[in-house]
Amino acid sequence: MTRLRDWDSFALLLIDVQRDFRDDDQVRHFPDFSTNIQRLLQFCRNEGIEIVHIRALFAPDRSDWMAKYRVKGSIPCVRGTEGAETLPFALAAPGEIEMEKQAFDAFHIPGLVSHLHQAGKRFLLTAGLLTSVCVFLTTASAAQRGFLTAMVTDCCADEPEAHESTIKRYPFIFDCTTVDQLTIDYERWQENLEKLSSGFKGGL
């Protein structure tokens, strides 16, 4: 199949779509989240956008827990528990990369940056759970590491106020898009990538 768009510089980081981060209140406030994640994954697979599945997984013996959670005595997504399981609509397809993290920011994963650089990725799409925590912190970290970034907001969820505040407060860090907006935003994003390649000094 001939693709009309060249997405070779793009990758999707799908973050923490796991049972412990998806409760009944969130399902009620973001009922389309699961369908939108499925649509996003299908879009990326059809368009040849690399998908990197990021999941929080912590050891039962607390050896890799962040300090605050060791003090608290509990943490989400303990390895081997039901809460750590990836939700069925977000499972990786054969051949897609899966990485584990023990921090909010996925860029604490050894090898993530080097993989993205070696694969020639310069623009990162982010999506998953939770909007204001791991998705935001990973997106902000990506921007500070030299990537252009866009959060796919209808493929994120959180407490409603936290979700809305996050996507509105940080236009100076990342773009916001939706599954239906991806092909519309594509041309502008490619122009920005070309500006970076040409050493353009102005604003993006």
Q: State phi, psi for 74 to the nearest 5 degrees.
A: -150, 155
Question: Among 39-43, 126-130, 199-203, which is the least confidently predicted range?
Answer: 199-203
CA dihedral 31, 179, 19, 141 (to 10 degrees): -130
By the 8 A CB rule, do 157 and 130 touch? yes
Q: Smallest Cα–Cα separation from 57: which of 95, 85, 87?
A: 85
List pLDDT tens digits, range 140-164.
Answer: 999 999 999 999 999 999 999 999 9
Cβ neighbors of 23 (< 8 A, separation 6 or more) are none
User: 169-196: string of b/e by CB count within 10 Å (b at 16+)?
Assistant: ebeeebbbbbbeebeeebeebbebbeee
Sequence ranges of the domains in the chain: 10-197
pTM for the predicted model, two decimal places: 0.95
Residue 200 pLDDT level (bands cut at 50, 70, 90) = low
Q: Give CA angle at 84 (32, 116), nearest 5°.
A: 80
- Superfamily name with CATH number, domain 10-197: Isochorismatase-like (3.40.50.850)
List pLDDT tens digits, range 126-143.
Answer: 999 999 999 999 999 999
